Amino acid sequence: MNKRTLTTIAILSVLLTLTGIPSAHGYVRTIYAKFSTSIPVLDGTIDAAEWEDATVYRGVGDEGIFDVYLMQDRNYLYIGVKAITFASYFYTGDEVQIYFDEGNDGGHGSGSGDGILTNEQEDMKAIDGDGVFIDGSWISSFTWGVGWYYYKLGYGVDMGVAAIGSHTDHWEAEFKIPFHGVEGDPKDPSDLNIGVSDFVGLAIAIDSPGYSPTFVRAFPEGADLTNPYTWAKLMVDNEPPTISDVGYSPQDPKPSDQVTVTAKVDDDVSGLKAVQLRYSTDGGGSWDVVDMSAPGISFTATIPEKPEGTTVQFRVKAEDYAGFRAESAVASYTVTAAPAAPGIPGFPLEATMIGALLATIALMITRKRDRLNIRTPQRIQL
């Protein structure tokens, strides 16, 4: 058994850590593994097409040296890691390491992470520069001391579990980790054992023991590999956002009307990253984009006034933090003419009003003359 001790091995330390190392802080960030039916080829090259469905975190971790790719198919967790090395050449002893914090089930660890490293209940996977796969667990005992213990099991590619490749200035490592591993092995007591509804603590490290001084960098930035609550919280997301009850008002818009579009949008796991209204006035040739806002799950946005006869197509698009996208069906409305003002058919309103005014004036003059017309008495000749 190989051993890497990351805490001081002392009697007091062991006494405090037989049941785990607690932390007063929560996980530092939340990350997501998105569902995919695409299975990457484990060859030490993170191919863009093979990892197209992954949730990707670029330029993260200590000094921004990591790109992390995460996806899953409900049976396996696929993790891709690009990690820059600052050495002048690649050491075969370099290791790309994955650490998991699981729950305490009283046995070998399972379920959602609890932020405590418990003896024989946490999992570690790694691959070195020679392509040798490493499997380990957290040990805290009087016999072995305290730290991450591991075995080198064989070439990862041959085992179908991991691969590594050197690329100019960085390593590329790929892992295929079962949701339900082999528990209770005498050499490696704890494998990952989670369901799709669980979350786990996750840390990633690159360790170059041959580099002087020893080069160790981790993700998340500043992660302490002995304290899971400085790690990331990894959640599994299997579904895109839901979009429903898309509507607009007013139902019969006129050229002077702004149209308000509403929709209910929700995402139960990773949450909504963006909700947008997209509308087109040229039959879908081009689309204007407006961010939608909401106090809750009812989102609204406004389409400005459009000329009479314009047909407006619109749809609602949403994206969650796992990278899933959803889009509503395209709806449309046509701007109709404003209602005509009252008047005589065939005559403009202004002409009708002027005509009515002149007729009224003429009538008033005629009546006034009638009142002033005094008849002269006729003379009767005798």
User: Is residue 382 in some structural domain?
Assistant: no
Asked if residue 210 and residue 97 are part of one domain, the reply reads yes
Residue 7 reports pLDDT greater than 50: no
Q: Domain count of the chain?
A: 3
User: Is residue 379 in some structural domain?
Assistant: no
pLDDT band at 177 (very low <50, low <70, confident <90, very high): very high
User: Is residue 339 in some structural domain?
Assistant: no
Domain final position from 237, 256, 276 = 237
pLDDT of amino acid 23: 42
At 313, give phi and psi (nearest 5°): -100, 145
User: Is residue 230 in some structural domain?
Assistant: yes
Percent of the chain with pLDDT over 90: 64
Residue 99 reports pLDDT greater than 90: yes
Asked if residue 246 and residue 232 are part of one domain, the reply reads no
What are 141-172's pLDDT values in tens digits? 877 789 999 999 999 999 999 999 999 889 99
Asked if residue 161 and residue 306 are part of one domain, the reply reads no
**Structure tokens of 50?**
């093979």
pTM: 0.72
Q: Which element (helix H / strand E) includes 356?
A: helix 349-372
Dist. CA 101–CA 284, nearest whole Å: 49
**Structure tokens of 158?**
């041959």
Dist. CA 20–CA 15, nearest whole Å: 10
Domain final position from 219, 237, 255 = 237
What are 191-235's pLDDT values in tens digits? 999 988 899 999 999 998 766 666 789 999 999 999 999 999 999
What torsion do the CA atoms of 91, 99, 156, 216 make, to the nearest 10 degrees? 0
Asked if residue 232 and residue 292 are part of one domain, the reply reads no
Dist. CA 130–CA 112, nearest whole Å: 33
Task: Find out whether 134 and 152 touch, Cβ atoms under 8 Å.
Answer: yes
Asked if residue 195 and residue 80 are part of one domain, the reply reads yes
Domain final position from 204, 237, 270 = 237
Asked if residue 198 and residue 75 are part of one domain, the reply reads yes
List the domain range (segments joined by +) for residue 291. Answer: 242-334
Dist. CA 223–CA 187, nearest whole Å: 27
pLDDT of amino acid 64: 95
Asked if residue 252 and residue 225 are part of one domain, the reply reads no
What are 337-375's pLDDT values in tens digits? 987 665 555 555 566 666 667 667 666 766 666 555 544
pLDDT of amino acid 143: 79
Dist. CA 249–CA 261, nearest whole Å: 7
